[in-house]
Amino acid sequence: MKAVATPRLDAVVMRARLKGALPWSSPLMRTLEDARKRHVLRQVGGACQFRHRVIQEYLAAQTDARLFG
């Protein structure tokens, strides 16, 4: 099944790339699909969530610092 990005996701990814929080060459959807297959990421409907709280907190802190800092 091929993942389909929404316009909102495109905007978030673009902002993250412009702020340096995500590399320009990042195959984001493939990375998320791989994480889901390895049971590191859980998908409920259209939303994804990392299963481990430590990973969630680390990524949230990194994102906050790069996007809003």
What is the DSSP annotation of 5-23?
--HHHHHHHHHHHHTTSS-
* Cβ–Cβ under 8 Å, residues 36 and 46: no
Domain membership of residue 65 (yes or no) is: yes
Number of folded domains in the chain?
A: 1
pLDDT at 66: 66
Report the pLDDT value the prediction gives residue 1, as an integer from 0 to 100. Answer: 43
Specify if 32 maps to a domain: yes
Intervals of the chain under pLDDT 70: 1-5, 26, 64-69
Q: What is the pLDDT of residue 27?
A: 76
Evaluate whether residue 10 is within a structural domain. no
pTM of the predicted protein model:
0.45
* Predicted local distance difference test score (pLDDT) of residue 16: 78
Residue range of the domain that includes 48: 27-69
